[in-house]
């Protein structure tokens, strides 16, 4: 690797490598917003965005989405396939926020009836304006078929990221993607991080992304760290046993029937029989206490009839 970058952008530097078709991308702590009008530093952002982007590119690869990502090299850098970036910012939205809220007058947080894909012309001098398919055709950026591909790919990526993040208690509000050409292929490129996505806590809607920097909300590094922590938290498999029993005093016709049969077969020593059920579940979770409370909740809601039955829950790591 030489020490002079081929390109230095607002958030990353691009270096050549020994391989003509590969770049080293180095993520910086520098942050800008509003087309560079606001500048600052977010401590540890470079390494957090590098790690978070690596996780997302790997997750997408497992789900059949091809990208420029080859591998993470060290804390701040990743090796990628060199592409010719298509100057389009492909933004996908699930929930109204940011410029969509402004444009449509929709309050931040309103769920969209279905995901919306938008295209912005990636041109700093113009301030990355929103453009439509006809502008894209006039500019000759992609063919109509390629545009359809970008839209489909963005929606597919949205589904993978949305589901994964939700399992980590994060709402994917919106995000920006960039794509590039290599040979006849179009690959997902650039980064997927709190710089380029809006992430909200699924319960509280707390912002866990660059909006904390844009809006001077404080705790910026902490928000990026929280996203990294949620993505890397190891889930373990647990076995839970739920025993459901009739409450004392509730009539048990099944138990009574067994008792009568036993008596008629000559087994006279049985005094009382009450029938319950044992439900065994295997599930993943972060720790025993969390799994116990989740299983107790679903036992109460679903497995037992709270009017007539009581239950107890036993959880242990799956062997």
- Interacting residues with ligand ADP (CB under 6 A): 9-12, 14, 23, 68, 80-83, 85, 178, 180, 189-190
Which of residues 31 and 147 has its CB atom nearest to ligand AIR in the complex? 31
User: Residue 100 Cβ, how far from ligand AIR at the closest point, in Å?
Assistant: 6
Q: Which does 197 bind (CB under 5 to 8 A by kind): ligand ADP, ligand AIR, ligand ASP, none?
A: ligand AIR
Considering only CA atoms, which of 174, 203, 195, 196 is closest in space to residue 96? 174
| Contact by Cβ (8 Å): 246, 197 | no
Q: Which does 34 bind (CB under 5 to 8 A by kind): ligand ADP, ligand AIR, ligand ASP, none?
A: ligand ASP
A 10 A CB-CB count for 123 gives 13
User: Residue 195 Cβ, how far from ligand AIR at the closest point, in Å?
Assistant: 6
The residues facing 72 across adjacent strands are: 78
**Which of the residues 173 through 212 are near ligand AIR (CB under 6 A)?**
174-176, 195-198, 210
| Contact by Cβ (8 Å): 295, 315 | yes
DSSP class of 67: B
The one among 17, 22, 32, 206 contacting ligand ASP by CB under 6 A: 32
Which of residues 44 and 99 has its CB atom nearest to ligand AIR in the complex? 99
| Contact by Cβ (8 Å): 46, 27 | yes
Rounded to the nearest angstrom, the gap between the alpha carbon of residue 250 and the centroid of all alpha carbons in its chain is: 46
| Contact by Cβ (8 Å): 73, 166 | no
Kindly give, in sequence order, each residue whose CB lies less than 8 Å from that of residue 34, ignoring residues fewer than 6 positions away.
214
- Residues 145 and 311: their CA atoms lie apart, in Å, by 58
Which of residues 180 and 285 has its CB atom nearest to ligand ADP in the complex? 180
Q: Which stretch binds ligand AIR (CB under 6 A): 47-55, 169-177, 288-296, 302-310?
A: 169-177
Closest residue by beta carbon to ligand ADP: 9
Q: In the structure encoding, which two tokens stand for residue 238, read together?
A: 């647990």
Secondary element (H or E) of residue 48: helix 45-62
Q: Which does 36 bind (CB under 5 to 8 A by kind): ligand ADP, ligand ASP, ligand AIR, none?
A: ligand ASP
How much of the chain is helix, strand and coil, in % rounded to 5? 35, 35, 35
Q: How many residues at the interface with ligand ASP, by CB under 6 A? A: 7
Asked if residue 34 binds ligand ASP (CB under 6 A), the reply is yes
State the burial class of residue 231 (Cβ atoms within 10 Å of its Cβ: 0-12, 13-18, 19+). Answer: middle
The one among 48, 91, 161, 165 contacting ligand AIR by CB under 6 A: 91
Which of residues 97 and 208 has its CB atom nearest to ligand AIR in the complex? 97
Closest residue by beta carbon to ligand AIR: 98
Which of residues 143 and 215 has its CB atom nearest to ligand AIR in the complex? 215
The one among 5, 9, 87, 98 contacting ligand AIR by CB under 6 A: 98
- Residues 95 and 237: their CA atoms lie apart, in Å, by 32
Residues binding ligand AIR (CB under 6 A): 89, 91, 97-100, 174-176, 195-198, 210
């Amino acid at each position: 690797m030489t020490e002079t970058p081929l390109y230095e952008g607002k958030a990353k530097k691009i270096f050549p490598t020994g391989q003509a078709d590969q770049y080293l991308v180095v993520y910086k702590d520098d942050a800008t917003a509003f087309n560079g009008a606001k500048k600052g530093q977010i401590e540890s952002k470079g390494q957090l965005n590098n790690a978070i982007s690596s996780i997302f590119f790997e997750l997408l690869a497992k789900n059949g989405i091809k990208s420029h990502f080859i591998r993470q090299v060290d804390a701040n850098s990743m090796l990628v396939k060199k592409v010719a970036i298509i100057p389009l910012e492909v933004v996908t939205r699930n929930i109204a926020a940011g410029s969509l809220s402004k444009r449509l007058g929709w309050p931040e947080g309103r769920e969209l009836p279905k995901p919306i894909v938008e295209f912005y012309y990636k041109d700093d001098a113009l301030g990355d304006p929103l453009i439509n398919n006809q502008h894209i055709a006039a500019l000759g950026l992609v063919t109509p078929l390629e545009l359809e591909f970008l839209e489909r790919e963005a929606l597919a990526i949205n589904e993978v990221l949305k589901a994964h993040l939700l399992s980590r208690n994060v709402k994917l509000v919106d995000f920006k993607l960039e794509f590039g050409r290599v040979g006849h292929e179009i690959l997902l490129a650039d980064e997927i991080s709190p710089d380029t996505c809006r992430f909200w806590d699924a319960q509280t809607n707390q912002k866990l992304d660059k909006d904390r920097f844009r809006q001077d909300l404080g705790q910026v590094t902490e928000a990026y760290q929280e996203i990294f922590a949620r993505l890397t938290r190891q889930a373990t498999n647990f076995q839970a046993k739920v025993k459901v029993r009739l409450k004392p005093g509730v009539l048990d016709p099944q138990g009574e029937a067994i008792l009568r049969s036993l008596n008629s077969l000559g087994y006279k020593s049985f005094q009382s029989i009450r029938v319950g059920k044992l439900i065994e579940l295997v599930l993943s979770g972060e720790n025993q206490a969390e799994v116990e409370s989740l299983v107790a909740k679903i036992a109460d809601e679903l497995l037992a009839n709270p009017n007539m039955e009581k239950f107890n829950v036993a959880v242990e790591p799956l062997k």
